[in-house]
Amino acid sequence: MTISEKKLYPRTGDKQTIYLKSVINDSNIIVGEYTMYNDFVNDPIQFEKNNVLYHYPINHDRLVIGKFCSIACGTRFLFNSANHSKSSLSTYPFPLFFEEWDLKRSDVTDAWDNKGDIIIGNDVWIGYEAVIMAGVTIGDGAIIGTRAVVTKDIPPYTIVGGVPAKPIRKRFSDEIISALLERQWWDWSIEKIAQNIGAIKAGCIERLK
């Protein structure tokens, strides 16, 4: 058992920050080791209820979050059931009210457009009150700005912001990004990560062992 599985609160006396994996019960939400969530408005333990929205079991869509991510207060993940079908002549969700309109219960998912799962890579920082929409994939090492609304895929190690979110700049050169994606330090053993924390903090890829 790893440290993050043993502990709910990473910091003594801080009840606003949790290791997110420790509070997930939904089998369609997968969170990696050491990913943390901070909430100074609501109880962070209520993440599934307050932050993962329109995630209805009937749709079977998934939220996948990698390791060592930092998720700020108020981040929202909006799933497919929040959508209304745009291929219909009306945006009204008739299939949702199947009893009222004598429709098949099995056709409920026709009420919305399905864009797919939400996939968050490793070492991703998601800023305060950002919104991640259904079908989006965010690459490793990306940074999502405060109150950004992410409607499209984000490449690895890219900083984005705005509504809708657009690239601001890459965090590193293409060479360093390629090297980081090749090394995948987040998959190293705890011991190896601990040995390399100095180099990671210093932003010195040449010192990674």
Range 9-19 burial, b when 16+ CB lie within 10 A, else e:
eeeeeeeebbb
Name the one residue in this structure whose structure tokens are 């100074």: 40
DSSP state for residue 154 in the 8-state scheme: B
Tokens of 6: 């043993």
Close Cβ partners of 70 (under 8 Å, ≥ 6 residues apart) = 35, 36, 38, 124, 125, 126
**CA distance linking residue 66 with residue 56, whole number of Å:** 22
**5 φ, ψ to 5°?**
-75, -30
Say whether 57 sits in a helix, a strand or coil: helix
Q: Which residues are catalytic?
A: 84
